[in-house]
């Protein structure tokens, strides 16, 4: 039988929910309630076409403004597609995609938290210099050994995701003896590394779709509360992914209803941040969740 947090701990969390805060450039950001992270991809090949913003000008600003208006507390900007089988992008190309977008977004929305979806420390440094607030690393430092020390020096929050291999090879690495325990062990090791490097705030992401089969994705979602034992905020990123559209026999464009259903499941199981393409629907899901569990 799968180990779960003890009932007294769960009861205490419900009666006295732990305060969630992020220290961002000298400011203390409260994240006691679940929040939405909106996805902005300055890439030509992200799996969901509507998330691509290849124009770093008015289209990017319009899309960001719409997400903020609909309730996004964080914008997540990516310049490297991490879909299964995605081709490699050079560091130089990633920087050329990311940095102009960072400059424009921080100029127009200086008070909105901006996360950078990258596994390269060079990109993290350049983006931070232009105002980025959070680093979202799909590899948890596995693809660039300088990433965690760099984020520690930058003194900003770090989103640590679980993945094996890289986007080109990850779906060939889905063998686990006990997937929850192995992911939990990964996060415990990474948290130790992060704290030694001086990173104060670490958000964990189990990495739905990254080196996991469809069945494993649903198992992790069902048991998401298992990862609450390490006392870090949990990010859930299931938006329009293959675990939804393959199960339903639809396309990513038709997977919004399924996304909403699984976002509610993630909230019920402890997720604090929903990373999504569709901010309005995710914000409404959180509003209904809070009505159920004020």
Q: Give the residue among 94, 134, 90, 138 at the shortest CA–CA distance from 116.
A: 134
Q: Give the residue among 203, 143, 215, 204 at the shortest CA–CA distance from 179.
A: 215
Instruction: Report whether 261 contacts 243 (CB < 8 A).
Output: no
Helix (H) or strand (E) holding 134: strand 134-137
For residue 155, the SS3 value is coil
Is 275 an annotated catalytic residue? yes
Among the listed residues 164, 240, 272, 275, the single catalytic one is 275
Whether the CA torsion 164, 170, 171, 175 is positive or negative: it is negative
- The C-alpha atoms of residue 22 and residue 137 are separated, in whole angstroms, by 17
Among the listed residues 120, 190, 212, 241, the single catalytic one is 241
Burial code (b: 16+ CB inside 10 Å, e: under 16) for 16-28 equals eeeebbbebeeee
Is 106 an annotated catalytic residue? no
Per-position DSSP letters for 114-128, written without gaps between them: EEEE-S-HHHHHHHH
DSSP-derived secondary structure letter, 234:
B
Whether the CA torsion 96, 99, 105, 108 is positive or negative: it is negative
For residue 56, the SS3 value is coil
- The C-alpha atoms of residue 294 and residue 291 are separated, in whole angstroms, by 6
- The C-alpha atoms of residue 278 and residue 36 are separated, in whole angstroms, by 9
Catalytic annotation, residues:
241, 275
């Amino acid at each position: 039988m799968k180990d779960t947090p003890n009932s007294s701990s769960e009861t205490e969390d419900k009666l006295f929910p732990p305060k969630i805060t992020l220290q961002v450039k000298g400011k203390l950001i409260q994240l006691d309630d679940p929040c939405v992270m909106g996805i902005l991809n300055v890439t030509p090949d992200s799996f969901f076409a509507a998330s691509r913003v290849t124009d770093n000008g008015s289209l990017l600003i319009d899309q960001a403004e719409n997400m903020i208006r609909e309730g996004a507390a964080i914008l997540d900007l990516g310049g490297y597609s991490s879909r299964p089988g995605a081709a490699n992008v050079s560091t130089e190309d990633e920087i050329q995609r990311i940095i102009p977008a960072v400059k424009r977004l921080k100029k127009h929305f200086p008070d909105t938290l901006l996360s950078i979806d990258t596994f390269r420390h060079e990109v993290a440094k350049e983006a931070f210099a232009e105002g980025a607030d959070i680093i979202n690393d799909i590899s948890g430092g596995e693809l660039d050994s300088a990433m965690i020390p760099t984020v520690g020096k930058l003194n900003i929050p770090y989103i640590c995701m679980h993945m094996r291999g890289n986007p080109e090879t990850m779906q060939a690495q889905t063998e686990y003896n006990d997937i929850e325990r192995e992911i939990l062990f990964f996060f415990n090791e990474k948290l130790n590394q992060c704290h030694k490097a001086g990173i104060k705030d670490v958000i964990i992401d189990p990495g739905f779709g990254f080196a996991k089969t469809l069945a494993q994705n649903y198992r992790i979602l069902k048991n998401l509360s298992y990862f609450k034992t390490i006392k870090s905020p949990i990010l859930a990123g299931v938006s329009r992914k293959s675990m939804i559209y393959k199960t339903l026999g639809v396309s990513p464009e038709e997977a919004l209803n399924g996304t909403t259903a699984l976002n509610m499941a993630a909230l019920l199981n402890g997720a604090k941040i929903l990373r999504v393409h569709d901010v309005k629907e995710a914000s409404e899901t959180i509003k209904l969740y809070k009505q159920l569990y004020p």
